[in-house]
Amino acid sequence: MKIFIDDTYEAMSKRIADDVVNIMNNAPEPLFCAASGDSPKSLYKELIQRNNASAIDISSWYFLGLDEWIGLDASDEGSCRYMLNKDLFHPLHAKEEMLCCFDGKTNDALKECNRIENFITKHNGIDVAILGLGMNGHIGLNEPGTSPLLRSHVMDIAETTKTVGQKYFSKPQILTKGITLGLATLTEAKHLFLIVSGEKKAAILKEALQHEPTESIPATLIREHPGLMVYADKAAAKLL
């Protein structure tokens, strides 16, 4: 594990972009796992700017969505795919055949999980997985109590996540379950990039890095991954 602390969220995001590009440019069939939400937004803006300036070429990159709310898909404002389309895929002009995301409206969750796992296998594994840190320590939608042995799966949403998740929607949204890459799948990725920003994340970041590994704080279960990179701004790192 390596930990990088920058003065600002913007400086942190530029550092992450440098590291993403370095890894993806040297991967034979680059597969980038993208988290939705606020934490990676500036990173995505940085990648878009570099692509528009022809400083990087993402035409060979494959993209994978980390998770999705059950009952929602790309057509629903606030869904994970909706946000990834808006914040990353569409501005990058990524081709649909290079994208693979969970369908939250699937009628067969097991088949959907297998589809995602097969996509990962087909492209020789995830090269970089972008992860945020939930207020309760969740990774993706792997909530407290998740077994580290689970691959892609459906998960009951914790109360904390239900509350925090409302910020993505313009009107109250009932969130009960999510579908997500499991911890076993994520820990097979070559590199895990955990992005943490803001003072509100300081306490859970300290727990994630210093608490003994426990299913009650899923972020502690990825700490021994040899390719884990933790990126924090000064506000998030204030308790370290």
Catalytic-labelled residue, pool 68, 112, 138, 153: 138
- Count of helix runs (H) and strand runs (E) in the chain: 8, 10
d(C-alpha 220, C-alpha 214), whole Å: 6
Catalytic-labelled residue, pool 6, 19, 46, 67: 67
Q: Do you know the residue count of the chain?
A: 240
User: What is the C-alpha end-to-end distance of the chain, expressed in Å?
Assistant: 15
Angle at the Cα of 198 from the Cα atoms of 195 and 201, rounded to 5 degrees:
75
Catalytic-labelled residue, pool 6, 136, 142, 153: 136
Active site residue 138: yes
Strand order in the sheet with 191-196: 2-6, 228-233, 191-196, 128-132, 31-34, 62-65, 99-100
Catalytic-labelled residue, pool 143, 153, 191, 233: 143
Residue 3 bridge partners (DSSP) = 230
Active site residue 118: no
Active site residue 159: no
Active site residue 143: yes
Helix segments in the chain, DSSP class H? 9-25, 41-52, 80-84, 90-92, 109-122, 159-165, 183-186, 202-210
d(C-alpha 192, C-alpha 228), whole Å: 5
Please give the positions annotated as active site.
67, 136, 138, 143
